[in-house]
Amino acid sequence: MNKIGGKWKPVIIHLIRKDCNRFSMLQKAIPEISKQMLVNQLREMEDDSILERIIYAEIPPRVEYKITGYGQTLLPIIDSMSEWGLKDLKKSSK
C-alpha cells in the first residue's frame, strides 16, 4: 500500500493518466500540494517503477511522466478507490 498510499499519489496517477503529464501541469492541477511534496511523490513513484520520467532533448528541456506497464496494473485499484470515494461523498451529503 505504500506504493500508492498517502494523499497525493492516487491523485497524481489519475492526472497523469488523463494526460496531465508535465510537472507544471500537475502543479496547476493540484494547487494544494507544495512543490517539494510533488517532487518527492513523483520520485518515489519513479523509484517504485510506477512512473517513468521521460526527458526530451529539446531546448528548453521538456520532461514528461508516463505510467509504466507495472503502474498500469494499479489503475483498477485506483478506479475502485475513486468509485468508493464518490459513493461515500453521496452518502455523507444525505
Percent with pLDDT over 90 in the chain: 72
CATH number of 9-92: 1.10.10.10
Query: Residue 89: pLDDT above 90?
Result: no
Size of the chain, expressed as the number of residues it contains: 94
Query: Residue 1: pLDDT above 70?
Result: no
CB 13 within 8 A of CB 71: yes
pLDDT tens per residue across span 14-32: 999 999 999 999 999 999 9
Q: Containing H/E element for 40?
A: helix 35-47
Give per-residue burial for 11-24: e unless 16+ CB within 10 Å, then b.
Answer: bbbbbbbeebbeee
Q: Which pTM was predicted?
A: 0.85
Q: What is the mean pLDDT of residues 50-65?
A: 94
Sequence ranges of the domains in the chain: 9-92
